[in-house]
Amino acid sequence: MREGAMPRRGGRPTVYDVAERAGVSIATVSFVFKQPGRVRDTTRADVLRAARELGYVPSASARGLANGSTGALGLYSFDMLLETAKFVSGLPSGPAEEPDPRSFPLYVDEVQRGFELECWQQGMALLLSAERSSGVSVMAGVAGRVDGLAVFPGAISTEELELTARAIPVLAFSRAPQDGAVHYVTVDNRGGVRALLAHLVDVHGVRQTRFVGAPVLPDLAERFAGYQEASARTAVPDDAPPVGAEGAGRPSSRLSWRRGAPGRAVVRERPARSHGAGRAARPGGGRPG
Amino acid sequence: MREGAMPRRGGRPTVYDVAERAGVSIATVSFVFKQPGRVRDTTRADVLRAARELGYVPSASARGLANGSTGALGLYSFDMLLETAKFVSGLPSGPAEEPDPRSFPLYVDEVQRGFELECWQQGMALLLSAERSSGVSVMAGVAGRVDGLAVFPGAISTEELELTARAIPVLAFSRAPQDGAVHYVTVDNRGGVRALLAHLVDVHGVRQTRFVGAPVLPDLAERFAGYQEASARTAVPDDAPPVGAEGAGRPSSRLSWRRGAPGRAVVRERPARSHGAGRAARPGGGRPG
DNA sequence: TTGTATGCGTTATCAC
DNA sequence: GTGATAACGCATACAA
């Protein structure tokens, strides 16, 4: 319980300061910002003026705590120093002695930009963060600050994804769909590569092709599968090992890129469980209207 | 005051739930995450297990409210649909009927990536947001959720920047330094262009140059100034109007790009005021160690 | 070592 | 139309 409504420490101004300055109660101050119509015009003006004079900025923490949601979505991506780069690209790149942020996977930018745009249009804040190869999971730290979380493929275990999904909606990019609460989204990698090869052969008359990259991730595996399906049309036998397969950083055991592997690339969505009092974020969701 | 320690609504699990499950008090749960050494090993194990079983994720809102800081830094950039694009590039681009996010100023990505990297290394979360040409200031909404805010040059008025700076440290990119609480950072645009021209002329033997872009922003004005300073060496008279100067969206009056304009490009920092109990964010600050 | 109690700033439910 | 006041979830002095 505050003693009256003292300006308190030297911190940022709060509703109490604004209320005191405007000669009203904190409830009124809150109303002015959340339900303007509920306050008399003159009162509202007083409050707004006081707020501006004080440089009042509402605390998102308090706000989030009070209404149970943060108003932000999270995007969790790769280790920013690319210590997992070769795992991502599937290409051998030697033990990068000095990680260079500039070699960050470029496609990430595009996806990220799209995410930013959507958040922007939805009026949601975007919280960016990335995995750290060293140290504990940062995911938990992120999950606590957002209403929903999208995750790039990486070192995050499915178990941890599912765990996080118990707290907030989680969307995993290009991951093999699993049973659980996590949402998965991917693209038709197989068909894409087939079309690509068909184009190269039919339109450009290419006769020599080779698949470059180690199919250690679902996406790459799918692409390799598509490559094999279509490679009968090229001069390269479809059992030629993909370039870089041997040199891949982690000899990943989580995926066997056997011939004719099952599972078409697919977009799989699970209905979000209701979290709390019906709140629900929609990472990657459609636009309104 | 909670009644005992009921699991409450259907929301995310809280310290109360974990505490109940582990048979300890909420304080102990908190200690386990914040001061692990203060808790007995067995107790800690119990708590961690309970937390994991429940899928407990600490609320950043509550945490932020309790300790007075959010642990996140903000980066505020352009309107994502580029309605201010031509203002940014200085190039006439016609009234983009259908704004295309793909034409977003590219250099932004580089700066943003650097900011991300630094935040990542500092263990801080990064909150991205952008101005909206329509509607009220989003800045306030951002300022409330971060400990410090970096702002790209754009439609944000100096007044608003200063206002925000009363609540949290604000860093403005490529803006003409002002007196106030806002921090400013820019680069040697003038010298850069001089060097560029020298290189073109001396090394590549270029004899024909033209400055493209309307110097409506401080940075561009500086570049134009540098261009003029060095253009005596080219075949183009230094008073040739820069291409696109006429077509610039806003005939900005905030900057007169008069010849020999004063003010060298400069990095200007102001010591951050102490906010609250000595807390201080350091947007763009150096690395530890 | 662990538990109790209180504050953090906002929201929202009541009274008035 | 406004004003008290109880949550919200966590951190932390202060007790025990």
- Which nucleotide is nearest, taking the CA of residue A15 and each C1'? C9
Give me the amino acid identity at A100. D
Give me the amino acid identity at A30. S
For residue A147, give the nearest of B283, B11, B147 by alpha carbon.
Answer: B11
Give residue-wise pLDDT tens across range B241-270: 666 554 443 322 222 222 222 222 222 223
Q: B70 and chain A: CB distance < 8 Å anywhere?
A: yes
The most confident of the ranges A171-180, B250-259, B279-288 is A171-180
Task: Give the tokens for residue B234.
Answer: 């080219």
Contact call for residues B281 and B115 (beta carbons, < 8 A): no
Contact call for residues B170 and B159 (beta carbons, < 8 A): no
Give residue-wise pLDDT tens across range A57-97: 999 999 999 999 999 999 998 776 655 444 444 444 444 44
Q: What is the mean pLDDT of chain A?
A: 73
How far CA B63 is from CA of B48, B97, B114, B284, in Å, comes to: 18, 45, 27, 24
> Chain C positions under 7 Å from a protein CB?
1-13
Provide the whole-model pTM: 0.75
Contact residues, chain B, for A143 at CB < 8 Å: 57
H helix and E strand count, chain B: 10, 5
> Chain D positions under 7 Å from a protein CB?
1-5, 7-13
For residue B221, give the nearest of B251, B182, B260, B247 by alpha carbon.
Answer: B260
Cβ distance of A65 and B59 shorter than 8 Å: yes
For B209-228, letters b (16+ CB in 10 Å) and e give bebebbbbbbbbbbbbbbbb
> Do the strands A148-151 and A170-173 form a parallel or antiparallel pair, or are they unpaired?
parallel
**A38 CB-contact burial (10 Å; exposed 0-12 / middle 13-18 / buried 19+):** exposed
For residue B167, give the nearest of A77, A14, A154, A220 by alpha carbon.
Answer: A14
Give me the amino acid identity at A144. G
- The partner residue sitting opposite A113, judged by closest CB among B101, B132, B274, is B101
Q: Which residues touch strand D (CB under 7 A)?
A: A 23-28, 31, 38-40, 42-43, 62, 65-66, 68; B 1-2, 8-9, 11-12, 14-16, 26-27, 30-31, 33-35, 56, 58-59, 61-63, 65-67
User: Which of the pair, A71 or B134, is modelled with greater confidence?
Assistant: A71
Distance CA A267, CA A136 (A): 30
Least confident segment among A60-64, A117-121, B141-145, B264-268:
B264-268
Residue linked to tokens 């979360």 = B125
Q: What is the pLDDT of residue A55?
A: 92
Residue B194: pLDDT above 80?
yes
How many Å apart are A126 CA and C7 C1'?
29
For residue A155, give the nearest of A174, A171, A132 by alpha carbon.
Answer: A132
Contact call for residues B245 and B284 (beta carbons, < 8 A): no
Task: Give the tokens for residue A62.
Answer: 């308090």
Which residue is closest to A10 within chain B, CA to CA? B276
| Residues contacting residue B264 through CB under 8 Å, at least 6 positions apart | B188, B190
Residue A234: pLDDT above 70?
no
How many Å apart are B279 CA and D16 C1'?
33
Name the strands in the sheet holding B148-151, side by side, starting at the edge strand that comes first in the sequence.
Answer: A183-185, A170-173, A148-151, A72-77, A125-130, B125-130, B72-77, B148-151, B170-173, B183-185
For residue B257, give the nearest of B230, B210, B223 by alpha carbon.
Answer: B223
Distance CA A122, CA B84 (A): 20
How far CA A100 is from CA of A88, A103, A112, A248, B261, in Å, comes to: 15, 6, 20, 19, 39
Give residue-wise pLDDT tens across range A141-167: 899 999 999 998 877 888 889 999 999
| B7 confidence band (pLDDT: 50, 70, 90) | very low
How far CA A132 is from CA of A82, A126, A136, in Å, comes to: 10, 19, 8
| A279 confidence band (pLDDT: 50, 70, 90) | very low
Cβ distance of B163 and A52 shorter than 8 Å: yes
Cβ distance of B12 and A168 shorter than 8 Å: yes
How far CA B157 is from CA of A56, A204, B139, in Å, comes to: 17, 54, 11
- Look at the alpha carbons of A125, A131, A134, A135 in this order and tell me if their dihedral is positive or negative: positive
Give me the amino acid identity at B231. S
User: Which of the pair, A179 or A92, is modelled with greater confidence?
Assistant: A179
Say how many residues make up chain B: 289
Q: Which residues touch strand C (CB under 7 A)?
A: A 1-2, 8-9, 11-12, 14-16, 26-27, 30, 33-34, 56-59, 61-63, 65-67; B 1, 23-28, 31, 38-40, 42-44, 62, 65-66, 68
| Residues contacting residue B155 through CB under 8 Å, at least 6 positions apart | B79, B84, B131, B133
| B112 confidence band (pLDDT: 50, 70, 90) | confident
Q: Which helix (H) or strand (E) holds B209?
A: none
Distance CA B263, CA A233 (A): 66
Q: Quote the distance between the C-alpha of residue B49 and its chain's center.
A: 39
For chain A, the three-class secondary structure string (H helix, E strand, C coil) is CCCCCCCCCCCCCCHHHHHHHHCCCHHHHHHHHHCHHHCCHHHHHHHHHHHHHHCCCCCHHHHHHHHCCCCEEEEEECCCCCCCHHHHHCCCCCCCCCCCHHHCCCHHHHHHHHHHHHHHHHCCEEEEEECCCCCCCCHHHHHCCCCEEEECCCCCCHHHHHHHHCCCCEEEECCCCCCCCCEEECCCHHHHHHHHHHHHHHCCCCCCCCCECCCCCHHHHHHHHHHHHHHHHCCCCCCCCCECCCCCCCCCCCCCCCCCCCCCCCCECCCCCCECCCECCCCCCCCCC
- Look at the alpha carbons of A63, A74, A106, B101 in this order and tell me if their dihedral is positive or negative: negative
How many Å apart are B284 CA and D14 C1'?
39
The stretch B114-130 carries a mean pLDDT of 89
Contact call for residues A264 and A190 (beta carbons, < 8 A): yes
Task: Give the tokens for residue B4.
Answer: 């005992």
Q: B114 and chain A: CB distance < 8 Å anywhere?
A: yes
Distance CA B28, CA B24 (A): 6
Q: What is the mean pLDDT of chain B?
A: 73
For residue B62, give the nearest of A51, A161, A67, A197 by alpha carbon.
Answer: A67
What percentage of chain B has pLDDT greater than the value 70? 65
Which residue is closest to A115 within chain B, CA to CA? B128
Task: Give the tokens for residue A19.
Answer: 């209320």
Q: A36 and chain B: CB distance < 8 Å anywhere?
A: no
Q: What is the pLDDT of residue A100?
A: 55
